[in-house]
Amino acid sequence: MSETASDTRITAEITRIPLHYPHMRNWWLLFGFSLVLLGCFFVAAGALFLNGVGMWGNNIPVNWGLAISNYVWFLGIGHAGTLISALLLITNARWRNSLNRFAEAMTLFAVVCAGLYPILHLGRPWLFYWMAPYPNTMTLYPQFKSPLSWDFFAVLTYLTVSLLFWYIGIVPDLASVRDRAKTRRAQVLYGLAALGWRGSARHWARWQQAYRLTAAIAVPLVVSVHSEISLLFAAGPIPGWTSTVFPPYFVMGAAFSGFAVVLMIAVTLRHALSLRDIVTERHLDLLARFLLTTGLMTAYGYVYEVFDALYGGQKQDLATLHDRFTGLYAYSYWGAVIFNFVPLQLLWFRGIRARPAVLFLIATSVVVGMWYERYMLLMTALYRDYLVSSWGEYHASLWEWLLFAGMIGVFLAPFLLFVRFLPVISAFEVKEALRETGDLSHA
């Protein structure tokens, strides 16, 4: 942040974006593209509703397929938003303030994508509410010892908490946009969304208590949600899914992929919205360090998994390990190792961490690598069970790929609307942090 940062300028710089969006043409191009993808989603999901999951390539023994590996992947991406926002808030790392708002929005939309996948995978998606425990005439309640039921509660809780945390965080900035809006329509809409926030000190005191408490609760929530996802695997008696490293391995992988997406978004927004004063090179540098750290932690999971199979010496576990290295889906194992960890090593160098374009490419590689990892964990374990009679192959059908493309649209379209219409950076928290360090001047 430049030394002359005044609170007037910060507010102006951030609230100008929703009120007078720069580069409307680029936005429309991207939004049009995301609408096309969103169209793919409706086509693929509509076809699925009409014809059932028989359109997909998954069948016994591989009955999870792309739907569940993407579910884990999307949910993992979402976790970084909460970690950046909540963990860095309670540890008082003030640099988070330039990143937390759009990272939280990323969480929100990634969790929506993640939540849709298991529902679409249900076979009869329109009966998804059967997972909720409600008084019914079937004299039947959900099986609470089943991972499907854990999923329902974990995703529901995570989605609700992410939404509330993001919303109470954005209310003061919505008030700021309301106060700067010139047209009647903008005043009314932002005014309604801001709930009549007037910056009263009495409100701020309770707001701060609520915000910090929610953050403190959100951190263990992230750990619990992705640990729960890993228990989905570990609750099944499948070779290759029983290592005790699974919960931390999944949580770290989640943070790793999510930081990569946050880095991609930070580089893009910084460039597209000219936010170089607010998202500085220092922020990109810190994000890159986080990426490197969580990447190395994830790499530890890979090493431990191999060690676990070798040390345990179970025949089936060794066979799964062998299949990972050389089997039908070995490409996904090596894809994960190479895309995740090879370009990552460049981040050891300060010079690389200062180059946004290179950071973007490394982050993209990590996102691809983590996708391979989720796919690899499912395929290599499921396609060879204990008995030869339950061996089988899985190849994703075109409909599954179409749905995947559509899900990217489900993520991108609302995210672009967020970038266009809401304050993408937390203006008041940036000012608060600058005041504490004494770098804020007043007009």
Partner 1 sequence: MREPSADRQPFGLMAEFCAPEQLVHAVRRSREAGYRSLDAYSPYPLEEMPQALGMNGNAVPWLCLAGGVLGAATGYGLQLFTNDAYPIATGGRPLFAWQPFMLITFELMVLFAVGFTIAGMLVLNHLPRLHHPVFAVTDFHRASADRFFLAIFCNDPRFEITQTAAFLQSLEPLRVEAIQSTEEPE
**Interface positions with partner 1 (CB under 8 A):** 6-8, 11-12, 133, 139-145, 149-150, 153-154, 156-157, 160-161, 164-165, 168, 172, 175-176, 178-180, 191-192, 195-210, 213-214, 217-218, 220-221, 224, 228, 231, 428-429, 431-432, 435-436, 442-443
Identify which of residues 10 and 402 has a Cβ nearer to partner 1 in the complex: 10
Identify which of residues 210 and 398 has a Cβ nearer to partner 1 in the complex: 210
> Which two structure tokens, joined as six digits, stand for 31?
């939004």
CB 321 within 8 A of CB 306: yes
Identify which of residues 163 and 368 has a Cβ nearer to partner 1 in the complex: 163
Residue owning tokens 């490409």: 331
Dihedral angle at the C-alpha atoms of 276, 362, 305, 111, nearest 10 degrees?
50
Identify which of residues 294 and 426 has a Cβ nearer to partner 1 in the complex: 426
Identify which of residues 57 and 142 has a Cβ nearer to partner 1 in the complex: 142
CA angle 41-42-46, nearest 5°? 120
Query: Least CB distance from residue 241 to partner 1, whole Å?
Result: 17
Query: Least CB distance from residue 392 to partner 1, whole Å?
Result: 23
Query: Least CB distance from residue 98 to partner 1, whole Å?
Result: 14
What CA–CA distance (Å, rounded) separates 399 from 411?
18
Which amino acid is located at 289 in the chain?
R
What CA–CA distance (Å, rounded) separates 110 from 99?
16
In terms of Cα–Cα distance, which of 231, 209, 78, 214 is closest to 146? 231
Query: Least CB distance from residue 118 to partner 1, whole Å?
Result: 15
Query: Least CB distance from residue 371 to partner 1, whole Å?
Result: 26
Identify which of residues 95 and 165 has a Cβ nearer to partner 1 in the complex: 165
What are the backbone angles phi and psi of residue 121, rounded to the nearest 5°?
A: -80, -5
What CA–CA distance (Å, rounded) separates 28 from 41?
19
Identify which of residues 53 and 229 has a Cβ nearer to partner 1 in the complex: 229
Name the 3-class secondary structure at 342: coil
Identify which of residues 32 and 236 has a Cβ nearer to partner 1 in the complex: 236
Query: Least CB distance from residue 297 to partner 1, whole Å?
Result: 23
Identify which of residues 186 and 354 has a Cβ nearer to partner 1 in the complex: 186
> Which two structure tokens, joined as six digits, stand for 39?
């169209």
Cβ count within 10 A of residue 412 = 18
Half-sphere exposure of residue 143, counting CA atoms within 13 Å on the CB side?
4
**Which helix (H) or strand (E) element contains residue 418?**
helix 398-421
In terms of Cα–Cα distance, which of 85, 93, 48 is closest to 170? 85
Query: Least CB distance from residue 432 to partner 1, whole Å?
Result: 4
What CA–CA distance (Å, rounded) separates 197 from 321?
57
Query: Least CB distance from residue 350 to partner 1, whole Å?
Result: 33
CB 125 within 8 A of CB 52: no
Query: Least CB distance from residue 378 to partner 1, whole Å?
Result: 21
